[in-house]
């Protein structure tokens, strides 16, 4: 969707995505290496 708030939404999506990646690595990484 294109809108005037696209960049703001995009930045939020990146931040949320990065958080999910970090959480996922912490959880799955712990399972793999433990």
pLDDT value for 9: 81
On the 0-12 / 13-18 / 19+ scale of CB atoms within 10 A, 18 is: exposed
Residue 2 has pLDDT above 60, yes or no: no
Task: Report the alpha-carbon distance of residue 20 to residue 25 in Å, rounded.
Answer: 8
- pLDDT score for 12: 84
What is the mean pLDDT of the segment spanning 7-29? 85
pLDDT more than 70, % of the chain: 74
User: Residue 25's pLDDT is what?
Assistant: 87
Given a cut of 70, whether residue 34 has pLDDT beyond it is no
pLDDT > 70? residue 4: no
């Amino acid at each position: 969707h294109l809108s005037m708030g696209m960049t703001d939404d995009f930045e939020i999506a990146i931040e949320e995505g990065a958080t999910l990646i970090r959480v996922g690595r912490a959880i799955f990484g712990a399972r793999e290496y433990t």
